[in-house]
Structure formats: C-alpha cells, structure tokens
Amino acid sequence: MYKSLSPSVKSSITKSISKNFEKYMAQIEWKEERFQLTDFMDTWKAYIENESKWYKQVPQEVKAAPEFHESIAEKINQTIDRVLKEPPSEEQVARIEIRQETLHTSFDYACRAEADFVERKLNSIKSN
C-alpha cells in the first residue's frame, strides 16, 4: 500500500514526520524523560489530518488498510532514528560553544535537530 504512493507523497510523509518530531521535541525541550510516543503520535495525527496536503491525496481505502499503518509506523521509526543520528555541523557546534562560553551555560545536544533547538534557546538569552 505505502509503496504504491507517489514519490512526492512518500517524501511529504517523511518530511511531516521529521518536522513534527522536531517540533514535539522542542515542546518538551528535548528532555528524553518527558518523551511519550503517544503524545508525539497525537500531535502528528492532528497535523496530518488538519494541515498536511499529502493526507488528502491518500485514498480512504489505503488509509484504512493495516498494511499502510504498519508501513507508516516503520517510516516513523526510521525517520526518528535518522533525525537522532544526524550530527550537528562543525560550524553549528562552534557557534553553540562560543555562545555557551559567553553565557556560561552548558546545554547538551546530541544531534543536529537538538543543536538547532539549543542554538535558538541560546540566541534568545540576553548576554550579561
């Protein structure tokens, strides 16, 4: 079922997972102990049903098929894994470390998406 979708729809699905995972993680400030898969799935479901364009392009019989849901679950796992394994760039690390030294902070970050969050947070802090 999933494999029969157009490449653009499959790409949109992946982007929506990634975008919403990063948004959800920012909402919980990347605190792993606060992560709840059901909460993330609720936010992603609300997004695809109310905002995404690709969801309307998927036929109702495909959406109802258990195979489709299994494929989506697998795609969610793959996408989250990819997001968590993508390292921050050297430039990003340098910017964050300089800003943390200036602000006397020590935020940890393990991936590019979390580093994006930390960088935004640091940029919102006023220097003394």
- pLDDT, tens digit, 9 for 90 and up, residues 52-104: 999 999 999 999 999 999 999 999 999 999 999 999 999 999 999 999 999 99
pTM: 0.90
Report the chain's mean pLDDT, rounded to a whole number.
94
Q: Select from 122, 116, 48 the least CA-distant residue to 86.
A: 116
pLDDT of 127: 61
| Cα separation, 84 vs 91, whole angstroms | 18
Structural contact between residues 94 and 109, judged by C-beta atoms closer than 8 angstroms: no
Residue 3, pLDDT above cutoff 90: no
Give start and end residues of each alpha helix (H) in 28-109: 37-50, 54-57, 60-64, 66-85, 90-103
What pLDDT is stored for residue 128 in this prediction? Answer: 53
